[in-house]
Amino acid sequence: MRSIKKILVANRGEIALRIMRTAREMNIATVAVFSEADRKSPHVRYADEAVCIGPAPSSESYLRGDKIIQVCKDLNVDAIHPGYGFLSENAGFAKMVQEAGLIFIGPSPEAIEIMGSKLAAKQAAGQYNIPMVPGTETAITDRTEAKTRAREIGYPILIKASAGGGGKGMRVVNNEADFDEQMDRAVSEAQTSFGDGSVFIEKYITSPKHIEIQVLGDQHGNIIHLFERECSIQRRHQKVIEEAPSISISNEVRVEMGRCAIDVARSCGYYGAGTVEFILDEQGNFYFLEMNTRLQVEHPVTEQITGVDLVKQMIFIAEGKPLTLKQTDLSIKGHAIEVRVYAEDAANHFLPDVGTLHTYVKPAGNGVRVDDGFELGMDIPIYYDPMIAKLITYGADRNEAIQKMIRAIDEYQISGVQTTLPFCKFVMKHPVFVSGNFDTNFVSNHFQPGMLVGEIREDASKLAAIITAQLMQKADSGAEKSAGLENKKAPGWKRRSLRNL
Ligand code: MV4
Of the listed 171, 229, 294, 340, which one is catalytic?
294
Distance 258 CA to ligand 1 centre (A): 20
Q: What is the distance between the alpha carbons of residues 31 and 34, in angstroms, rounded to a whole number?
A: 10
Pairing of strands 29-35, 6-9: parallel
Q: Is 369 helix (H, G, I), strand (E, B) or coil?
A: strand
Q: Which atom of ligand 1 is nearest to the CA of 204?
A: 4
Rounded average pLDDT over 446-453: 89
- Longest Cα–Cα distance of the chain, Å, equals 87
Distance 236 CA to ligand 1 centre (A): 10
69 vs 449, residue with greater confidence: 69
Position 261 confidence tier, pLDDT thresholds 50, 70, 90: very high
Residue 455: predicted pLDDT: 53
DSSP codes, 258-289: HHHHHHHHHHTT--EEEEEEEEE-TTS-EEEE
Per-residue model confidence as pLDDT tens digits over 58-89: 999 999 999 999 999 999 999 999 999 999 99
- Tell me the CA–centroid distance for residue 235 and ligand 1, in Å: 12
Asked if residues 246 and 401 have their Cβ atoms less than 8 Å apart, the reply is no
To test the pocket of ligand 1, the residue of 118, 210, 443 to mutate (highest count of ligand atoms within 8 Å of its CB) is 210
If one residue of 158, 289, 291, 442 were mutated to test the ligand 1 pocket, choosing by the most ligand atoms within 8 A of its CB, it would be 289
Write out pLDDT tens, residues 212-237.
999 999 999 999 999 999 999 999 99
Say whether pLDDT at 316 is over 60. yes
Cis peptide before 245 (omega within 30 of 0): yes
* Chain mean pLDDT for the chain: 92
452 pLDDT tier (thresholds 50, 70, 90): confident
Q: 412: CA distance to ligand 1 center in Å?
A: 32
Ligand 1 centroid to residue 318 C-alpha, Å: 31
Measured in Å, residue 464 CA sits from the centre of ligand 1 at 45
CA gap 313, 307 in Å, rounded: 12
% the chain with pLDDT above 70: 90
Q: Among the atoms of ligand 1, which is closest to the Cα of residue 164?
A: 8
The alpha carbon of 167 and the centre of ligand 1 are apart by a number of angstroms equal to 7
CA 236 to chain centre: 13
Torsion of CA 352, 355, 361, 365, to 10 degrees: 30
For residue range 96-150, list pLDDT tens digits in order. Answer: 999 999 999 999 999 999 999 999 999 999 999 999 999 999 999 899 999 999 9
Enter the DSSP assignment of 176: G
The residue-averaged pLDDT of 318-343 equals: 98
Pocket test for ligand 1, best of 237, 288, 293 (most atoms within 8 A of CB): 237
Ligand 1 closest atom vs CA 206: 3
What atom of ligand 1 comes closest to residue 234's alpha carbon?
23
Say if residue 460's pLDDT is above 70: no
pTM of this prediction?
Answer: 0.91
Return the pLDDT at 470.
56
Specify the pLDDT at position 435: 98
DSSP state of 321: P
Distances (CA, A) of 177 to 143, 163, 184, 202, 264: 13, 26, 13, 17, 36
Q: What percent of the chain has pLDDT over 90?
A: 88
Q: Is the pLDDT of residue 166 over 80?
A: no
Q: Is 294 a catalytic residue?
A: yes
pLDDT of residue 168: 82
Query: 296 pLDDT exceeds 60?
Result: yes
Question: In the prediction, which pLDDT does 165 show?
Answer: 77
Mean pLDDT of 8-30: 98
Question: Ligand 1: residues whose CB is within 6 Å?
Answer: 133, 158, 167, 202-205, 208, 210, 234, 237, 277, 279, 289-290, 440
For ligand 1, atom 6, the nearest C-alpha belongs to: 167
Strands 6-9 and 79-81: parallel
Nearest ligand 1 atom to alpha carbon 231: 22
CA distance 111 to 95: 11
CB 371 within 8 A of CB 389: yes
Pocket test for ligand 1, best of 199, 200, 279, 438 (most atoms within 8 A of CB): 279
Predicted confidence (pLDDT) at residue 499 exceeds the cutoff of 70: no
Beta strand spans in 141-237 (E): 157-161, 171-173, 199-203, 209-217, 223-235
Query: Ligand 1: which atom is nearest the Cα of residue 135?
Result: 15
Minimum CA distance residue for ligand 1 atom 20: 210
Q: Calculate mean pLDDT across residues 380-389.
A: 95
Q: How far apart are the CA of 289 and the centre of ligand 1, in A?
A: 8
- Closest Cα partner for 155 from 202, 95, 225, 85? 202
> Which of the listed ranges 195-199, 318-322, 496-500 does the model predict with the highest average pLDDT?
318-322
Mean pLDDT within 146-175: 92
H helices of 60-142, where?
65-74, 91-99, 109-116, 118-125
Measure the N-to-C terminal CA separation of the chain; round to a whole number of Å.
57
Nearest alpha carbon, ligand 1 atom 5 = 204
SS3 call for 231: strand
Mean pLDDT throughout 322-342?
98
